[in-house]
Amino acid sequence: MKWIEYYIEAVISQLPKKDQIEVKNELLSNILDMLPPEPTEEEVKALLLELGSPAELAQKYRQKPNYLIGPQVYPGYISALKIILPIAAIAGTIFGGITAFVSGDVTELSLRTLPELLAKMISVGLPFTLIALFWTSFGFVVAERTGTFKKGQHWQTADLMKLAQKQTISFGDSLAELIIVLFMIGCVLWSLLNHFHWLDLILADRRIPIFTGSFLQMAALLILLLCVGEIVVIALKMTYRRWRLPVCLASIIVSLVSLVCWVIALSRKEMFTAEFLDYLSTAEWTSHSQLSWLRDFSANGGLPEKAFQILVALAVLGTVISILHTIYQGRKERRSSLTA
């Protein structure tokens, strides 16, 4: 029966979640009906070969068939997109930021110029992503039509064992996470070299630093620490490719450390500069009733009590969700290992 289980899992893994249970029950019933009461292993294998490859059979169960990309290459196509599109999006946004400075559209990095810079990065990053999507799809279509991918070539029941042991953590997803973390590290290091001037408030007559230098240095150190922790988790994901105990423990530890770092940063005294606090206390737009809380900073420049409580509550909520997700993946992996 293990071959039947492997075969069905290989089929439904390529279907939407909402259809998997129904297809699993239907396919199991059909297979059992076609087999004798006590089938031998060879009879089971022969029937599965007659049914065809799991990819082709899954295509027949799809309510919205993807005929442009055939069933034999569709899983590989999706895996390629998971790797290529994040890389293209990140490369495009970085290139857009560089061209914004080179072309002179943005002359400095500050809160005032940030919307223009983001617009430039998105306007370049989005076409990059769409172009990558087009050429990847075009390449797979051409390769399939020209016979590079042979339908049903070399498929045999022994392949089901490999499918059953298929890694549950996508290498492409882990690679995308790694690129994002490295990009964040680069941004933090660049900001340190430039003394975080891009965070200054630019007025018509002067530039006001919002955060104190000591707070920015501490925040940068905490961010770099968390990035290192994330790199460790990503490295474990790439190594195990499954939600094994080391991966789950590392992920939970990093989530808890992240929460501690958040609380430390948010409870920091002397977070804001005296110039910025003075500006808030005298600015006309903070006199409105809905914005008056902005003037309610503590005497030592920390966050208002209500703002601190709300931000900490959000951090705790995010940490709980992250840990529960990790526990769920770990339990799911454990059940999968026990039934394999």
In angstroms, the CA 26 to CA 116 distance is 55
Q: Which amino acid is at 102?
A: V
* Contacts for 154 with CB less than 8 Å, ≥ 6 apart: none
> Of 97-101, 145-149, 224-228, 279-283, which one has max mean pLDDT?
224-228
Burial 69-104 (b: 16+ CB within 10 A, else e): bbbbbbbebeebbebbbbbbbbbbbbebbeebeeee
Confidence (pTM): 0.55
* Cα torsion through 143, 149, 150, 152, rounded to 10: -140
Cβ atoms 262, 173 nearer than 8 A:
no
Q: What backbone torsions phi and psi does residue 105 show, to the nearest 5 degrees?
A: -65, -35
Residue closest to 6 by CA, chosen among 328, 336, 331:
336
**Does the pLDDT at position 287 exceed 60?**
no
> Of 9-23, 260-274, 300-314, which one has max mean pLDDT?
260-274
The 3 state secondary structure assigned to 259-272 is HHHHHHHHCCCCCE
Residue closest to 311 by CA, chosen among 275, 280, 266, 268:
266
The pLDDT mean for the chain works out to: 78
Give pLDDT, residue 152. 46
Residue closest to 230 by CA, chosen among 179, 194, 264, 188:
179
Pick the more confident residue, 54 or 180: 180
* Cα torsion through 191, 195, 196, 199, rounded to 10: -160
Q: What is the mean pLDDT of residues 296-308?
A: 66
CA 316 to chain CA centroid, Å, is 20
Outline where DSSP puts E strands in 77-167: none
Give pLDDT, residue 296. 58
* Cα torsion through 89, 95, 97, 103, rounded to 10: -140
Confidence of residue 149 (pLDDT cuts 50, 70, 90): low
Percent of the chain with pLDDT over 70: 77
Q: What is the mean pLDDT of residues 282-311?
A: 64
Q: Residues 234-265: pLDDT tens digits? A: 999 988 888 888 999 999 999 999 999 888 88
In angstroms, the CA 267 to CA 270 distance is 10
Alpha helical stretches, state H, 165-212: 171-193
Pick the more confident residue, 334 or 288: 334
